[in-house]
Structure formats: structure tokens, C-alpha cells
């Protein structure tokens, strides 16, 4: 990734209720917006797209913010399980196609901006 930085304006999903709802029922998502799911312990994470209208890219990261798996262009309304592929502390959901557009790959790092907002 080099020194490329891409700021995202994210909503935080830090408890069971917000993680359960995620981006369900949203009809749009700005190119620089997303939702950061924060898990209390590093664990295997399974996501799905039930009631989600827009395709998403899901970036699965460890406790240091290093992305270890990316699920691209997830299918709206699908109940197919999308696995983190290993222990995960964070999941950043962004509009579908973002990973490809920005060239994001495993090994990228999620970091907070000085104001505390995470970015990729």
C-alpha cells in the first residue's frame, strides 16, 4: 500500500445491537463513508447482507488494524455467510467496488485520523 491514505467518514458499530443492524435498510452510501464494526475480542466473524440494499466491500482486520481478508461486491439481500477467514477485531464496510477502486489489498492498515475517525 505504501503511504497512500484514504480517509473514510465512518459510523461505529460497537455493541451487539448496532453490529446486528449494520447498514441494513440504507439505500445509498457515499464513496468516502462506511461503518466500522468493533468486536470486544478477536474472534471469527460471520456477516451477511440480509435487508442490505447496496453492495458492500468488507475489510476484515486484526486488533492492530491490519486487513487480512476482503470480501468484495457482496450481494444485496443475500443470507449467504461472509466469513472473516480468521480471528478479526474490526470489519470496515464501505461501498462495493471501493477496494478495487483504491487498490486495497490484504496488508492494508486501518488507522484512526488525529480526530479519532478511522480511515483505511
| The predicted structure's pLDDT at residue 104 | 95
What pLDDT is stored for residue 115 in this prediction? 58
| DSSP, res 64 | T
Determine the pLDDT at residue 88. 96
Domain ranges of the chain: 10-110
DSSP label at 74? P
pLDDT (tens digit, 0 to 9) for every residue of the chain, 120 residues total? 456 889 999 999 999 999 999 999 999 999 999 999 999 999 999 999 999 999 999 999 999 999 999 999 999 999 999 999 999 999 999 999 999 999 999 999 998 866 554 445
- 10-110, CATH topology level: Jelly Rolls (2.60.120)
Q: C-alpha grid cell for residue 84?
A: 472473516
pTM of the model: 0.90
First to last CA, the chain: 10
Radius of gyration of the chain (CA): 13
- The predicted structure's pLDDT at residue 117: 47
Q: Which three cell numbers stand for residue 10?
A: 465512518
Amino acid at each position: 500500500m505504501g503511504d497512500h491514505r484514504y480517509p473514510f467518514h465512518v459510523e461505529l458499530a460497537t455493541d451487539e445491537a448496532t453490529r446486528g443492524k449494520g447498514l441494513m435498510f440504507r439505500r445509498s452510501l457515499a464513496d468516502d463513508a462506511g461503518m466500522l464494526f468493533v468486536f470486544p475480542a478477536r474472534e471469527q466473524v460471520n456477516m451477511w447482507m440480509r435487508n442490505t440494499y447496496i453492495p458492500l466491500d468488507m475489510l476484515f482486520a486484526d486488533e492492530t488494524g491490519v486487513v487480512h481478508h476482503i470480501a468484495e461486491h457482496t450481494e444485496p439481500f443475500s443470507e449467504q455467510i461472509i466469513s472473516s477467514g480468521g480471528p478479526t477485531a474490526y470489519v470496515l464496510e464501505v461501498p462495493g467496488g471501493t477496494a478495487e477502486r483504491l487498490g486495497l489489498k490484504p496488508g492494508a492498515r486501518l488507522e484512526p485520523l488525529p480526530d479519532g475517525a478511522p480511515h483505511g
